């Protein structure tokens, strides 16, 4: 059985529905992957991930897990799956985003990147080779290649140099990955990452080079990092016109529900973002009828459900007024409720997208849904 089965393609767009097969279970695409940076999705228990949110796959972050608890502990535990008790697939980022986000405390050379730990200041070194080793020890089903995430505002010269460095690092990642085996008895898969900033010719060059490597899947990185949304959509189209149709496409770190629908229309299969939980912890939720700031006074005496439009993502007994009270009282339950709600909404949204792709009316459904979910309530 192949790693990815493409089941349906929308007649009026590039939207796709497929199945990713891993040794920890199948993933039905398009899919949103909750972010569990340090081995946990913030504020959400495993039972809630499985039963309420219905997550099919979650993420871990190589950089953060390397710092804490460390690969020695993870290896003793039998890998991240056993350490956190998660039996479904896991994807790990490579730490490349930290090359971008921790610019003030890192030095980048051809050999790799030297970091200062944000925890205790000790020096760390990431190279393509040791990142592959770390991801092997973590035990993710899907591993990301080590790359440099170029800022969306980078000039052409820097973007090209960065892309070329990413490609040289990728060659080293592939060599290390192909010369080693998984530690825990199941198959792991390596995704290269398409970079190139906002420059179509660079994105084309990167996509063609990576396509010819014929790996199990491909990630699109370096978007939603400062560039306009329309430029992001343009780059997705440029890349997906080149990447093979029979391999899954993963758009890294994106984004809002409307970003996701726009990207699905352009042929993306997999998504992740911290927005559902981060926004939930700040009192903002996404619903089928629009975006709500639960801190607003207008919800103070509103005893209706959080999302009364037919699909309840948390217990019906949690009214808007009650959740607003929890948020203003700094009660952890309020943050948990909103995090669960947002994640469940995201999973519901991509599930609905999949169903409408299969039924053949995705384009009409998507246009209607875009008008609803972008409303500010």
Active site residues: 93, 272
Contact between 148 and 170 under an 8 Å Cβ cutoff? The reply is no
Beta pairing partners, 6: 18
Backbone angles phi, psi at 207, to 5 degrees: -65, -40
What are the tokens at 295? Answer: 């801190």
Burial tier of 357 (Cβ tally within 10 Å: 0-12, 13-18, 19+): buried
CA proximity to 353, closest of 235, 258, 280, 212: 258
Contact between 97 and 62 under an 8 Å Cβ cutoff? The reply is no
What are the tokens at 95? Answer: 């730490």
């Amino acid at each position: 059985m192949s790693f990815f089965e493409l089941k349906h393609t929308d007649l009026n767009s590039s939207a796709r529905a497929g199945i990713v097969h891993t040794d920890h279970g199948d993933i039905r695409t398009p899919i949103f992957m909750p972010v569990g940076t340090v081995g946990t999705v913030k504020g959400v228990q495993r039972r809630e991930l499985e039963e309420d949110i219905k997550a099919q796959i979650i993420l871990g972050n190589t950089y953060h897990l390397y710092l804490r608890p460390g690969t020695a502990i993870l290896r003793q535990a039998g890998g991240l799956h056993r350490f956190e008790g998660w039996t479904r697939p896991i994807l790990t980022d490579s730490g490349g985003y930290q090359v971008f986000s921790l610019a003030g405390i890192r030095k980048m050379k051809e050999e790799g990147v030297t970091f200062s730990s944000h925890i205790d200041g000790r020096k760390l070194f990431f190279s393509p080779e040791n990142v592959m080793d770390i991801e092997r020890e973590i035990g993710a089903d899907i591993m990301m290649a080590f790359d440099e995430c170029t800022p969306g505002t980078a000039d052409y010269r820097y973007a090209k140099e960065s892309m070329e460095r990413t490609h040289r690092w990728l060659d080293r990642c592939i060599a290390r990955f192909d010369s080693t085996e998984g530690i825990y008895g199941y198959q792991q898969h390596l995704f290269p990452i398409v970079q190139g900033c906002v420059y179509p010719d660079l994105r084309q060059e990167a996509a063609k080079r990576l396509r010819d490597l014929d790996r199990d899947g491909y990630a699109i990185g370096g978007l939603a990092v400062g560039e306009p949304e329309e430029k992001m959509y343009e780059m997705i189209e440029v890349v997906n016109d080149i990447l093979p149709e029979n391999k899954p496409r993963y758009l890294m770190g994106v984004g809002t529900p409307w970003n996701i629908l726009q990207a699905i229309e352009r042929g993306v299969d997999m998504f992740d973002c911290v927005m559902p939980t981060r926004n939930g912890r700040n009192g903002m939720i996404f619903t089928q009828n629009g975006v709500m700031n639960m801190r607003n006074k207008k919800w103070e005496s509103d005893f209706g459900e959080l999302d009364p439009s037919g699909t309840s993502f948390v217990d019906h007994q949690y009214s808007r007024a009650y959740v607003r009270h929890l948020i203003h009282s700094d009660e952890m339950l309020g943050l948990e409720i909103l995090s669960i709600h947002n994640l469940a909404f995201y999973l519901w949204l991509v599930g609905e997208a999949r169903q409408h792709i299969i039924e053949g009316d995705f384009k009409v459904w998507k246009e209607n849904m875009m008008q609803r979910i972008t409303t500010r309530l």
